[in-house]
Amino acid sequence: MTAKDQDGKVIHTERRKYDNWNLWFEGGKWVELRQWDITAATNVNLGLEPEETDEETHIIFVDDNTKEVTIEATFLFENEPDHWETIKTVTKTVTFNPPKKFVKE
């Protein structure tokens, strides 16, 4: 996720990695239960399933002269080490109204 102001200056960036852990045993090999008790293992899934969404809130402080911020979030898939493929990109722009000036009468 990258947030840029109206001049293209990056004001915030963050990367989150989802992991998919699968256990694979080669056939014909004996795995001693005292070393790895698969029946006592707790299933921990830190992955993001297909069509599942994730939501986060980030508070970003901007300068008074910032008129708009464009936020781009890209979902990438690492199909082999250091080789990333773009799955989806979403871009949103937030426009700030100028602060109202109050004049004492």
Using the structure block, give the residue that is written with the tokens 């199909």. Answer: 79
With a threshold of 0.85, does the pTM exceed it? no
**58: nearest Cα among 27, 101, 16:** 16
Does the pLDDT value for residue 15 go beyond 90? Answer: no
Backbone phi, psi, residue 40, to 5°: -100, 0
Strand partners, 73: 90
pLDDT value at residue 5: 94
CA angle 89, 98, 103 (to 5 degrees): 165
Domain extents in the chain: 2-95
Query: For the segment 38-93, what is each residue's pLDDT rounded down to a tens digit?
Result: 555 555 566 667 677 777 788 888 888 899 999 999 988 887 888 889 988 999 99
